[in-house]
Amino acid sequence: MIAAFGADTPEERRLSVGIACALLNNLIVGVAVGMFLPLLPLRLDMMGETPGSIGFHAMASSAGVLVIAPFISGLIARHGAPAIVAGASIVSALPLSLMMAAPDYWVWFIARLAVGVGFAAHWVGTEAWLNQAAPNRLRSRILSIYVISLIGGLAMGTPVLTLLDIAGGAPFLMIAAALLAAILPILFAWRSSPSFQPSGHMASLRMLKIAPVLMAVGLLAGITDGSAFALLPLFAVKAGLMEDTAVLVMTAFLVGAVAAQIPIGMLADRISRRRMLLLLAGGGAGLAAVLLPAMDGGLGTWIVSGLFGACVIGLYAVALGVIGERFRGGDMAAANAVFVLCFEFGALSGAPLSGAVMDGLGPVGLPIVMGGASALVLLGVLVRGGGWKREHGPG
């Protein structure tokens, strides 16, 4: 992978094998997640659960981040990123057999929590691996490809699910098969991954003190992402579009995000990641201001939606690059874990917050929340981002 951009040393060529395998693994796991996320609400609805209880059930997956985040940097330093990423796939796959055998609300809640732990460990382990292995001059481009592989996998998972009998056991078997198949690329990369020195005592808590603005960026990026994925089609309907057209607004949002990732990564590697965060946050705030008037079904609808997706999703990838630039080794893994935790908190709160504002103000509530979050990122990076520098040497 590095070789595609110009590897300079034998070590970079060795790490490039691991990067390519980690990205392929991430794509396959993304397909599994893309099947898992819509499957559970549909099956719970078939079991007679209410929307409220289905929403509560979804919290189990997010709680997995809380369970594993304090320990993940130490586990990566002790066992290596390949072992964590491969083990996470196994941890995610095993509870699916319990779901097949015992279709019960609370049994599934516990199993979903275990799946969430596996997904979270995979999430942090993959990002730490890529961030540690990437040369700084290519970091944002590699992380942009990571985001593309994840979104691409998620996008492929849902159509695969539609080909299966949702009421039966086939979806669980297919998800488990994808998770286990994703281990194969990791086996090829076992000797091509970076090493991680152990982080200091209470490293995760220290990251909140060392990099509060960067963690706030994670929180605010989560709010914008969570709001968009949950409410953007509904927003489009409330703005006056027909339902079938409103769904395409979300498609335009995702297509714009994917198409822009590599250009964003190349620009971030060239002009500095802080400046790229400023551009994306400013663009997100500005586009949010015109999002509602753009919802007329014309060309502007698709252009604004695509550019908005590029800015909103791009914030996450560029902020990851800042983490890799500032921290190394176990401290970088710890910072990554806290960043993911903050992002997950934001994603969980974004949809309820935006929904409440939409209830009070109408459809304009969604761009108010998302634009406000982008504006706060802009302010935080302007005020504190100028002092960002590498905190620790290689390790």
What's the one-letter identity of residue 253?
F
pTM of the predicted model, to two decimals?
A: 0.84
Considering the domain boundaries, does residue 196 fall inside one? no
Q: Does 238 lie in the same domain as 94? A: no
- Rounded Cα–Cα distance for residues 41 and 45 (Å): 6
Mean pLDDT value across the chain: 86
Q: For position 149, what pLDDT does the model report?
A: 92
Q: How confident is the model at residue 237 (pLDDT cuts 50, 70, 90)?
A: confident
pLDDT in tens, 156-207: 887 888 888 888 899 999 999 999 999 999 999 888 888 777 665 556 667 7
Q: Does 232 lie in the same domain as 182? A: no
> 134 with 324: CB under 8 angstroms?
yes
Q: Is residue 395 predicted with pLDDT exceeding 50?
A: no
Q: How confident is the model at residue 394 (pLDDT cuts 50, 70, 90)?
A: very low
Of 188, 211, 229, the position where a domain reaches its end is: 188
Q: Does 225 lie in the same domain as 178? A: no
pLDDT in tens, 217-226: 899 998 998 8
Q: For position 214, what pLDDT does the model report?
A: 86
Of 120, 153, 188, the position where a domain reaches its end is: 188
What's the per-residue H, E or C state across 239-286?
CCCCHHHHHHHHHHHHHHHHHHHHHHHHHHHHHCHHHHHHHHHHHHHH
Which residues span the domain enclosing 71? Answer: 2-188
Share of the chain above pLDDT 70, in %: 93
Q: For position 203, what pLDDT does the model report?
A: 61
Determine the average pLDDT of the residues in 346-367. 88
Considering the domain boundaries, does residue 393 fall inside one? no
Q: For position 4, what pLDDT does the model report?
A: 53
Q: For position 355, what pLDDT does the model report?
A: 86
pLDDT in tens, 31-86: 999 889 888 888 888 888 886 788 788 778 878 888 887 788 888 888 989 999 99
Q: CB-based contacts of 233: which residues, under 8 Å, 6+ apart?
A: 243, 246, 247, 249, 250
Query: Would you call 375 helix, strand, or coil by DSSP?
Result: helix
**C-alpha distances in angstroms, 188 versus 29, 184, 247, 288?**
16, 7, 39, 44
Q: For position 392, what pLDDT does the model report?
A: 45
Q: Does 222 lie in the same domain as 103? A: no
Report the CATH number at residue 378.
1.20.1250.20
Q: Is residue 370 predicted with pLDDT exceeding 90?
A: yes
- How many domains, the chain? 2
pLDDT in tens, 283-314: 999 999 999 999 998 999 999 999 999 999 99
> 132 with 196: CB under 8 angstroms?
yes
Q: Is residue 7 predicted with pLDDT exceeding 80?
A: no
Highest average pLDDT, of 53-57, 130-134, 185-189, 349-353, comes from 185-189
Considering the domain boundaries, does residue 395 fall inside one? no
Q: Does 238 lie in the same domain as 167? A: no
- The beta strand positions in 288-352, using DSSP E, are none
Q: Is residue 393 predicted with pLDDT exceeding 60?
A: no
The two structure tokens encoding residue 221: 């990026």
Q: Please, what is the angle between helix 170-181 and helix 10-46, to 10°? A: 170
Q: Is residue 155 predicted with pLDDT exceeding 90?
A: no
Q: Does 211 lie in the same domain as 176? A: no
Considering the domain boundaries, does residue 392 fall inside one? no
Q: Does 217 lie in the same domain as 153? A: no
Q: Does 296 lie in the same domain as 177? A: no
Q: Does 260 lie in the same domain as 316? A: yes
Q: Does 217 lie in the same domain as 108? A: no
Determine the average pLDDT of the residues in 92-109. 92
- Rounded Cα–Cα distance for residues 266 and 259 (Å): 13
Task: Choose among 262, 332, 342, 313: nearest CA to 62.
Answer: 342
Q: Does 153 lie in the same domain as 41? A: yes
Q: Does 317 lie in the same domain as 236? A: yes
